[in-house]
Structure 1
Amino acid sequence: MEIRAERVGVNGPHGPLLQPTSLRVRGGEIALVTGEPGPGHTTLALTLAGRLRPSSGSVTLNGRTDAAVLRKHVALVDAPDVNEPEDGLKLSNAIAEELLHAGLPSNRNAVRKWLQTQGADIYAGERVEHVPAAVRTRLLVELAASRPGVQALMIDTPDRHTSDPGTWWPHALRQAEQGLAVVVFCSPASASALPLPAARLGHDDQPDPMPVLSGEPQ
């Protein structure tokens, strides 16, 4: 699969939410998008996932414009004010909701067993904001990737939880190694610490994403 954004811009009721931005990523590749704090990261993630209509430009999946197909195959991960776990929610409850979205058993026993397989059962009763950032991101990425039909992940600003890219970059890489198309949104400071040129919000440059699979990307 290939997702391509060509000069995608989005206007809000009070002005631009996203200035024209271009990006491309295929299965087995990871792309990095950077920009200053603001609505641009989440706006682009929503648009690439078919959940927001661009005001200008286009988003295509395998050369076709089809928002419904994008929604089926692209998952948002921990997007602020969209699908991040609510403040004060226990991790076990947040995991139950995500398992439900993935079409998997979500009762208390199922949640406990899933957390055990992830080595995270000790955090089951913790509020999500108190779970270590590396654990939080890993669990939410794994759950999003397990949803039926998902072929791409939009991982939204994991660096807002920690300044250390080493706590989330390996989890993004792992999903690309599994064959998914992965886009990670982060701050310029985080992007500068990673071994990959970043696409920039509000710019038309399209740095090549990083292929992380042997052989041809899907």
Structure 2
Amino acid sequence: MLSVQQLHVKGRRDDLLPSTSLHAARGELLLVCGTAQDQRTALALTLSGRMKPSSGELRWDGRGGARAVRRASALMDSPGVNEPEQHLSVRDLVTEDLALIPRRYRGALLSKPWLKVNRFEDIAGLWTEQLKPGRRTELLTALALANPETDLLVVDSPDRHSADPTDWLPRLERLAYDDGRPLAVVVTVSAFPEDWTGPAAMIGNSVHLSAPQESRILETEDAK
């Protein structure tokens, strides 16, 4: 389980990440809403152990510190961090990402057979900028899970590619609730899907709430 208490990152002037608390267990998909992209990215980087928080507590399976969570996590499609370069071919992207897998698991992983086994041969010759949002999500999640140590998937703002949640949400739900390999999946979003009733939290809100509760808070704040 990922457990976060009062996680906070100072910025040069304003807080890069206001104090935020949340938790996500294996077999759970958590949506975390924040209106600012830099805050969503800061949260994604911190939750995956790629950025050191200024204060707060971050724990994975009871172990504290960024090292434990970084080893268990994969950060996916974070803008300005590890999103695929637009003028990179899918084949080259796969080659680069497979090379990042720990050597003891890498074996003979090569892009051509990997693309075939995972049924991405139809897009192998495309540039990453040509990928449709749904296919992009399928490809990047498959690459993230090529590392068998990945138990926590942190996805940064998939809704920036498509306002239609059906382009990314069903795939992430299937991964979270997969009986064979249940994952803790945390997804930062600019807004909750209208019909979302699953686990949810707000950046800057230290209370782990359901989506309907979050909506009531937002409505109250808008009315002020």
Shorter-chain TM-score bucket reads: 0.7 to 0.9
1:118 aligned to 2:118? yes
> Percent sequence identity over matched residues?
36
Which whole-Å CA distance do the structure 1 matches of 2:144 and 2:210 have between them?
25
The aligned counterpart of 1:203 is 205
Question: Is residue 182 of structure 1 aligned with residue 185 of structure 2?
Answer: yes
1:81 matched to 2:83:
no
CA shift, 1:62, in A, is 2.4
**TM-score, scaled relative to structure 1:** 0.86
Residues 1:51 and 2:50 aligned together: yes
Specify the alignment match of 1:135 in structure 2.
135
Shift of the alpha carbon at 1:106? 7.6
Residue in 1 that maps onto 2:214: none
Does the aligned pair in 2 maintain the 1:99–1:106 contact within 8 Å?
A: no
Distance 1:93 1:56, change over 3 A: same
Question: TM-score normalized by structure 2?
Answer: 0.84
**Preserved contact between residue 9 and residue 55 of structure 1 (Cα < 8 Å):** yes
Unaligned runs of 5+ in 2: 212-224
SS of structure 2 residue aligned to 1:19: strand
Q: How far apart, in 2, do the equivalents of 1:106 and 1:173 lie?
A: 30
Residue of structure 1 in register with 2:215 after alignment: none
**Structure 1 stretch displaced more, 21-30 or 194-203:** 194-203
Pairwise CA RMSD of aligned residues?
Answer: 1.9
Give 1:128 deviation, angstroms: 0.4
Tell me if the contact between 1:97 and 1:106 (Cα under 8 Å) persists in the aligned partners.
no
Query: How many pairs align?
Result: 205
Cα distance, 1:164–1:118 mapped onto 2, change above 3 Å: farther
Q: Is the 8 A contact 1:20 1:202 kept in 2?
A: yes
Equivalents in 2 of 1:179, 1:92: separation in Å? 28
Q: Which secondary structure does the structure 2 equivalent of 1:54 belong to?
A: coil
Judge conservation of contact 1:34–1:191 (CA < 8 Å) in 2. Answer: no
